[in-house]
Amino acid sequence: MGDPAGIGPEVVVKTLADPEIYRVCTPVVIGDARVLSETPGWPGGGPRIVKVATVEEARPEPGSVHLLDLANVPPSMPAAEASSEGGRASLEYLARATELALAGRVEVVVSAPFNKEAMRKANFPFRDEYDYLASLCGVQEHTEFTVGPHFTLASVTLHVPMREVPALLTRDRILSTIRASHAVARATGIPRPRIGVAALNPHGGEGGNVGTEELEVIAPAVAAARIEGIDACGPFPADTLFMTVKEPRYDVYVGMYHDQGRIAMKLLDFGRAVTVAEGLPVLFCTVSHGTAYDIAGKGVARAENMKDAILLAARRAVARRSDEP
């Protein structure tokens, strides 16, 4: 359900009012019954909530929200703002969903948006929900992809201050991201994916005159990937590389830091891109928008992105089945 004070509950109930969802999966909401029952957006009034004691009890039943009720949102939680109560509740939803996925009781986890300020207020010790998810799975190395209608973006670093980025850009970390990009593209049916890799510095470092990361870590990572048979190219100056995304030259674009590539993604595909975590034993997808406290509770939030996330998650789950022995 995501942060209960944001638009997460609304986009969840609006999405589950769409019969198409039930043709591809059996959705089970992990959330709070009181919050969902008070959420606007269900056609003809509030949703019909069916509480289940286990996820196995859920049925693909259009017109109903099958809910594993954690009942963890106190009435005192401030509405439409970041709070410790909302941050704590959203993390408990993710932890329960991950536990179920690791146990093989659900195939994929899809989340409405989290809010980092709310999570910090709940004394959250991780940089973001992805690092928390990786910790729950006992995994250190993982990569996030943003999949939009126009192009797919991978990022070597994400939610870290810009001053920390250069130290985090190691050959092995960049190579791991390129490998994951190759694997993700192959999983979508592309037999020989092309991977475009961005530089960090202006003009690609100008041969070391405007930074040395290209020479010291990025180019060696690209070369190592090519030795492994991956069709990786770069590093290219970011301002020219991301000019090509409207008619993509590459199957996956690799950026060095959070905003690199996401500006192009949001210009072209805002509200339709889906974030996917890779390198984990749990399939995880989430929306690319935030909690939007400014419109929470007003019934005007758009749910297309949540639907996109669920549909992509279902496709990934089916693809993973075919990879199992």
Write the CA distances from 40 to 66, 67, 196, 295, integer angstroms: 17, 17, 43, 12
Mind spelling out the 3-state secondary structure of 109-178? EEECCCCHHHHHHCCCCCCCHHHHHHHHHCCCCCEEEEECCCCEEEECCCCCCHHHHHHHCCHHHHHHHH
Is the pLDDT reported for residue 254 higher than 70?
A: yes
pLDDT digits (tens, 9 = 90+) for 302-313: 999 999 999 989
CB burial of residue 53 (10 Å; 0-12, 13-18, 19+):
exposed
Sheet holding 108-111, edge to edge: 108-111, 283-287, 274-278, 143-147, 152-155, 252-255, 194-198, 231-236
CA distance 323 to 189: 13
Is the pLDDT reported for residue 187 higher than 80?
A: no
Can you give the pTM of this predicted structure? 0.86
Is the pLDDT reported for residue 325 higher than 70?
A: no
pLDDT digits (tens, 9 = 90+) for 69-111: 999 999 999 999 999 999 999 999 999 999 999 999 999 999 9
The pLDDT mean for the chain works out to 93
CA distance 110 to 314: 10
Going from the N-terminus, what domains does the chain have, and what CATH number goes with each?
1-138+280-325 (3.40.718.10), 143-278 (3.40.718.10)
pLDDT digits (tens, 9 = 90+) for 275-312: 999 889 999 999 989 999 999 999 999 999 999 999 98
